[in-house]
């Protein structure tokens, strides 16, 4: 990442990773259940210098605070509050949104709600949709309910490679970089993953809702990327998604399960074309006149210092 900023939402500090901070166009990239914003580094580099990529770490993940009250904070309703705080912090009136798994569902909620729909300019869902395979969800809930402990970093790396094959073809260097950013050392010298073990309680505390109804209410341009071998988002679900949203753009990522890492040209090029068609508007045009002046003055002031 090129820089990082911290935002306070209630008692939690939210870490936000940023690439290409002076780029004329902006995309919000939101990660999956147990991951963090650092997963979008390759995407940011491949999108290039014309795209500012803003990637928050959801509470309980990465560099953001862990909650003392998971039943209140590890919920989509609170993630919506955090997402709006991120948009307001960066003076973004209308966001281009790329969301992997949980991050995609969060984007759906924002785009479907009358109170927040105007904040989403276009939406890319990475291996997620309004209908998810119940068995795959149950397996995820089981996996994240068990605390992971490894005696060595190499054991953690091997476990990461085995359990996250759905990310697709990664080089040895990419797996190593992911392991380093995913590892947290314990007081006894052992290793575990860099997330709060209680994030899995979201499966218990979150309120079920009619996500097909949410999907049908969305009016912004839409794209869905599905891993070729995804167990979570079935191919027939994508077919139904297109029936409800005829202008939906789709991409099947070869040699991937859940969820494509968005780390290669075959995945990024179509995504970039979608963003350029529907979201290539300068940040200054997206902001109100007062906020444009504020952002302009901040840039001037930073150069003076």
Is residue 8 packed enough to be buried (19+ CB in 10 Å), middle (13-18) or exposed (0-12)?
exposed
Give the model's pLDDT for residue 205. 86
Q: In what order do the strands lie in the sheet with 25-30?
A: 3-9, 12-19, 51-56, 25-30, 95-100, 120-126, 222-227, 249-253
**How far is 52 from 18, CA to CA, in rounded Å?**
7
Q: No. of H helices and E strands in the chain?
A: 13, 10
Give the model's pLDDT for residue 97. 98
Give the model's pLDDT for residue 299. 44
Q: What is the H or E stretch that residue 244 is in?
A: helix 235-244
Tokens encoding 224: 């869905």
Fold of 3-132+207-304: Rossmann fold (3.40.50)
Q: In this model, does residue 216 exceed pLDDT 90? A: yes
Q: In this model, does residue 288 exceed pLDDT 70? A: no
3-class SS at 245?
coil
**How far is 29 from 57, CA to CA, in rounded Å?**
10
Tokens encoding 92: 């973004």
**How far is 238 from 82, CA to CA, in rounded Å?**
28
Nearest to 35, CA basis, from 101, 108, 85: 101
- Neighbouring-strand partners of residue 253: 227
Give the model's pLDDT for residue 281. 62
Q: Where are the domains of the chain?
A: 3-132+207-304
**How far is 207 from 38, CA to CA, in rounded Å?**
28
Q: What percent of the chain has pLDDT above 90? A: 84
Nearest to 262, CA basis, from 123, 169, 160: 169
Give the model's pLDDT for residue 57. 98
Mind listing the pLDDT tens digit for each residue in 78-125? 999 999 999 999 999 999 999 999 999 999 999 999 999 999 999 999
Mind listing the pLDDT tens digit for each residue in 2-23? 999 999 999 999 999 999 999 9
3-class SS at 16?
strand
**How far is 10 from 58, CA to CA, in rounded Å?**
14
CA-based radius of gyration for the chain: 19
Up-side HSE of residue 250: CA atoms within 13 Å toward CB? 21
Tokens encoding 56: 């928050």
């Amino acid at each position: 990442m090129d820089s990082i900023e911290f935002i306070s939402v209630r008692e939690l500090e939210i870490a936000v990773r940023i690439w290409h901070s002076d780029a004329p166009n902006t995309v919000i990239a939101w990660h999956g259940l147990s991951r963090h914003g650092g997963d979008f580094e390759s995407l940011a580099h491949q999108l290039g210098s014309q795209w500012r990529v803003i990637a928050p770490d959801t509470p309980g993940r990465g560099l953001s605070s862990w909650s003392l009250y998971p039943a209140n904070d590890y919920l989509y309703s609170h993630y919506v509050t955090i997402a709006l705080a991120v948009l307001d912090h960066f003076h973004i009136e209308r966001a281009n949104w790329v969301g992997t798994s949980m991050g995609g569902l969060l984007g759906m909620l924002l785009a479907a709600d009358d109170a927040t729909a105007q904040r989403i300019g276009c939406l890319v869902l990475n291996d997620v949709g309004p209908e998810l395979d119940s068995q795959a969800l149950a397996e995820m809930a089981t996996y994240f309910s068990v605390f992971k402990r490894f005696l060595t970093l190499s054991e953690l790396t091997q476990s990461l490679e085995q359990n996250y094959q759905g990310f697709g073809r990664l080089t040895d260097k990419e797996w190593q970089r992911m392991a380093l950013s995913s590892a947290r050392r314990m007081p006894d010298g052992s290793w575990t993953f860099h997330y709060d073990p209680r994030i899995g309680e979201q499966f218990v505390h979150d309120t079920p809702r009619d996500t097909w109804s949410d999907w049908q209410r969305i009016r912004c341009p839409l794209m869905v990327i599905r891993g070729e071998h995804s167990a979570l988002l079935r191919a027939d679900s994508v077919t139904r998604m297109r029936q409800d949203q005829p202008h939906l753009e789709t991409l099947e990522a070869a040699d991937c399960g859940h969820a494509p890492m968005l780390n290669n040209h075959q995945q990024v090029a179509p995504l970039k074309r979608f963003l350029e068609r529907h979201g290539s508007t300068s940040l200054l045009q997206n902001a109100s006149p007062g906020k444009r002046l504020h952002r302009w003055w901040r840039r001037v002031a930073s150069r003076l210092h």
